[in-house]
Amino acid sequence: MTLDTKAPIVTGGVTPVPHPHPVPPELSPWVLAINHKWQQLGRPGNPIGTTVAVGNGHLQRYEGGGTIYADANLNTTFVYGKIGERYDQMGGPTSWLGFPTSDEGNMSEGGRVNTFQHGAIYFWGDTGAIELAGVIVHYTGLVCFGETDNPLWGSDSPYVTMGVVGPNSYLALRSQIYNGVNAGSGHPDLLEIYRGPPLGLRIKTVLTQHGSSSDPDALKKSMEDGAMKAAKWLEDEIRSVPLVGPTVADIAAPFIEKMAPIIADDVFGFLGLADSALGDDEFNFTAKDMVKLSARTPNSVDHGVGYKRETGLMSRQGASYKVGYGLIPMAP
């Protein structure tokens, strides 16, 4: 009989040699989930080291810079590239973002996005990676460059009616009536018109002189009807595309551009508007606009009115006005 000198001898027999790379039993569900995800992805790079506990889940890093995360419920996601680098810099799952909730997906205008428990990281080649919990859009007031030429009015008493439509919301609202408005004056205000992920928005702005020929509530109702129809149309168009998920901004972008006539038809069917309208404007905030303007663009100020974007010049009945809109990041 030949004795294996490498096997330790103890009373009662030979103790088995331990496996050189033991997998602790409490980690095995995450190891299995992560390995399954890796197989599904086509094995993107060899594993580096072993699975590591992080937060209330685990991660596994791979050659090439990718990482697979498994949260407490064993949901697995793959994060890599510039978004992955930014996520690591922030602290990964221990940051305010939490664990990823999606693999990297398409974003509008050639961008990329990963969603997380409490926000998202967006990437375009000319912006780099930008993390956001969400975006808040405000109406910020109006600037009068020239008042109306009606001698009976003296000064103007304008108000702003807005219709806001996005992939998951619509809204119509009206500002206060600004009395005693004269040329060269700014009138700051603050009305929240959107709060949520940057998916793209279309905003219709109508500036109206308050008086006997205009009914602010009726105009707001007309705007609401137009916005509701546009939102329903947009919802139907998005649903006609098979894949939505985190790529909804990419899918919605071309449809948002086509909504203009839907809102306008209702608004300008409103009786009496032509007699009191000082101007109107309509534009899109693309998803990329919303990310860049909220996170990377400083505020501008015009006659005391702060804004990230102004309407075009509205100049009917001798008047000249612009309306401002602001965007800020949501707090984590």
pLDDT number for residue 219 = 85
Question: Per residue in 245-275, pLDDT tens?
Answer: 546 777 777 777 666 555 555 555 543 455 5
pLDDT number for residue 11 = 42
Give dist(CA 34, CA 37) in Å, integer.
5
Average confidence (pLDDT) over 158-170:
91
Topology (CATH) of 135-329: Immunoglobulin-like (2.60.40)
Average confidence (pLDDT) over 138-159:
90
Domain boundaries, the chain: 22-132, 135-329
pLDDT number for residue 15 = 38
Question: Per residue in 85-118, pLDDT tens?
Answer: 999 999 999 999 999 999 999 998 999 999 999 9
User: pTM for the complete prediction?
Assistant: 0.84
pLDDT number for residue 271 = 38
